[in-house]
């Protein structure tokens, strides 16, 4: 078993030497002392890091369960030993249970190879942010086909969701505008009264 110097271990792990020393002091990485210098067991540390291959499948609604089953079967054929995580929910919704489970595991340090059949199965927008989170934690994103899918039903549903969000916000925006207008009116009225009081001649 080979032990590395502080400089080389920090380079291999991509951490600052101070971080490496903290890891050793906290017992996260095994060390020995040779001629008074600390050596690091990088090989053992890397082997202890949890890794996972996860195939992610998604459809927008319960009516598309047949499509979801086809996605799952395809992934099982391509990656027979991989973990399958699936969601039923809009690609605009980032509160999907399965997706959040994957991201939480990545941020806990699991090196995840995340496989999706098409990019829009992961998210309608924001997939580059998901890629960044996965890759920043030692994993990678694998998109089997870069072709854009034309799921008309899903696209229509996503558009309806966007319109719904904006329509819900409009009444609140109108109320806010009314409150601002009222506040301005009140302020103007108070200023006018104050100006009249200041201009009124002093009676002796």
What is the Cα–Cα distance from 103 to 107, expressed in whole angstroms?
6
60 given a catalytic annotation: yes
What is the Cα–Cα distance from 112 to 95, expressed in whole angstroms?
19
SS3 assignment, position 148: coil
What is the Cα–Cα distance from 48 to 140, expressed in whole angstroms?
18
**Closest residue by Cα to residue 116 from 44, 56, 189:** 56
What is the Cα–Cα distance from 159 to 161, expressed in whole angstroms?
5
The one catalytic residue among 5, 6, 44, 60: 60
Q: How far is CA 7 from the centre of its chain?
A: 33
What is the Cα–Cα distance from 19 to 17, expressed in whole angstroms?
5
| Helices 97-107 and 127-136, packing angle to 10 deg | 30
Four-residue CA torsion sign, 170, 174, 175, 176: positive
| Helices 17-25 and 6-13, packing angle to 10 deg | 100
Would you please indicate which residues are annotated as catalytic (active-site) residues?
A: 60
């Amino acid at each position: 078993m080979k032990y590395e110097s502080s400089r080389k271990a920090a380079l291999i792990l991509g951490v600052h030497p101070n971080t490496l020393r903290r890891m050793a002091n906290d017992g996260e990485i095994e060390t020995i002392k040779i001629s008074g210098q600390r050596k690091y067991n990088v090989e053992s540390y890397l082997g202890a890091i949890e890794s996972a291959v996860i195939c992610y499948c998604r459809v927008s609604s319960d009516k598309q369960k047949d499509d979801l089953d086809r996605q799952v079967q395809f992934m099982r054929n391509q990656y027979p030993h991989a973990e399958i995580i699936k969601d039923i929910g809009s690609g605009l919704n980032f509160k999907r249970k399965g997706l959040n489970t994957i991201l939480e595991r990545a941020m806990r340090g699991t090196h995840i190879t995340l496989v999706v059949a098409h990019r829009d199965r992961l998210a309608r927008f924001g997939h580059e942010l998901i890629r960044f989170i996965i890759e920043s934690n030692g994993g990678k994103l694998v998109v089997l086909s870069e072709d854009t899918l034309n799921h008309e039903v899903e696209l229509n549903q996503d558009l309806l969701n966007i319109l719904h969000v904006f329509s819900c916000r409009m009444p609140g925006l109108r109320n806010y505008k009314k409150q601002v207008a009222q506040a301005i009116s009140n302020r103007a009225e108070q200023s006018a009264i104050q100006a009249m009081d200041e201009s009124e001649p002093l009676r002796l």
